[in-house]
Every structure is written in structure tokens, then in C-alpha cells.
């Protein structure tokens, strides 16, 4: 073994040790903050859309009539349903109150948007669906009203 080989091995082991230390440090970041951030990001997106429809409901009906064109639902009913879900489910999601229910409603809406309205926006819809599926399958996390309720009712969260 030459001194060059030895120096290279020492350098590699230092790099590996630094990467391991960085990974360990990143692993200590609270998952609950990531979960809250994901819930707020998706919730804000849908809530903003709902507010836009609510503020100009005639325009919302026109959108459902001319652009969205959902099968089986008259545009007026679809506009009311869509606006109601976009204004209520994000609140449940962000506060983590019946978060799985709110996430399931938004996931159903996301799938409807993807398959019936804007299939070309699949990267954005995949991001929303992934976050919403996480909440449906794992719950809202420690920073949620659901967690407080579970702790108070069952002594665990």
C-alpha cells in the first residue's frame, strides 16, 4: 500500500463519516413539522381555489359548465359540491381534525381532477395525492387536534 492509497482511504473514510453525521443530524428533524408543512401546503392550495369559486360563484358555475365538464353532474351541483369540499376539507386537514376524512375528500377530488379534467397536470396531482395518501394512511401526526383527542380519550396518541 502506497502513501497515496493510504491518504485516499483516509479521505474517503472522513467523507463517509461526515455524510453519516449529516444523515444522523437530518434524521433528528421533527417529522411532525414535515407533516404539518405538507398539510398546510396542500390545504392552502385547495382552500385558495375554493375561495376563488366562492367569491365569484357565477364564474365557478361557468367553469364547471365549459371547462371542467364533469360527467353525470349538472354544473350547478358540481360547483356547489366542489366549492364546499375545497372550503371545508382543507380546514380539517390543516388543523388535523378528522384529518383522514378531509384528506380522503381532497384525494378523491385530486383523482377526479387528474382523470377527468386536467390529465396533463399529473406531476402536481401526484404530489398532492402522495401527501393526501400519507395523511389517509398515517394520520395527521403529532401536531394535530386528532392526536390531542386520541391522547385524551385513550391515553395515547
The verdict on residue 5 lying in a domain is: no
The verdict on residue 10 lying in a domain is: no
Q: What are phi and psi of 149, to 5 degrees?
A: -65, -45
The verdict on residue 120 lying in a domain is: yes
The verdict on residue 141 lying in a domain is: yes
Cell numbers describing residue 85: 369540499
Cell numbers describing residue 137: 394512511
77-107, pLDDT tens digit by residue?
A: 999 999 999 999 999 999 999 999 999 999 9
The whole domain housing 69 covers 31-154
> What does the pLDDT read at residue 147?
96
Number of domains forming the structure of the chain: 1
pTM reported for the whole predicted model: 0.86
Nearest to 88 by CA among 67, 108, 103: 103
The verdict on residue 3 lying in a domain is: no
5-41, pLDDT tens digit by residue?
A: 556 677 788 999 999 999 999 999 999 999 999 999 9
The verdict on residue 1 lying in a domain is: no
Helix or strand run (H / E) with residue 150: helix 145-154
CA torsion, points 111, 116, 118, 119, in degrees to nearest 10?
A: 70
* Average pLDDT of span 125-136: 98
The verdict on residue 9 lying in a domain is: no
Amino acid at each position: 500500500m502506497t502513501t497515496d492509497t493510504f491518504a485516499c482511504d483516509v479521505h474517503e473514510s472522513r467523507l463517509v463519516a461526515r455524510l453519516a453525521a449529516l444523515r444522523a443530524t437530518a434524521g433528528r428533524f421533527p417529522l411532525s413539522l414535515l407533516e404539518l408543512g405538507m398539510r398546510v401546503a396542500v390545504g392552502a392550495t385547495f382552500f385558495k381555489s375554493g375561495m376563488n369559486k366562492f367569491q365569484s360563484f357565477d364564474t365557478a358555475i361557468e367553469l364547471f359548465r365549459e371547462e371542467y365538464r364533469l360527467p353525470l353532474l349538472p354544473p350547478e351541483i358540481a360547483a356547489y359540491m366542489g366549492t364546499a369540499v375545497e372550503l371545508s376539507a382543507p380546514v380539517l386537514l390543516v388543523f388535523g381534525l378528522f384529518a383522514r376524512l378531509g384528506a380522503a375528500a381532497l384525494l378523491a377530488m385530486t383523482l377526479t381532477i387528474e382523470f377527468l379534467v386536467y390529465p396533463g397536470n399529473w406531476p402536481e396531482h401526484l404530489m398532492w395525492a402522495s401527501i393526501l395518501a400519507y395523511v389517509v394512511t398515517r394520520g395527521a401526526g403529532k401536531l394535530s387536534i386528532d392526536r390531542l383527542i386520541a391522547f385524551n380519550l385513550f391515553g395515547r396518541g
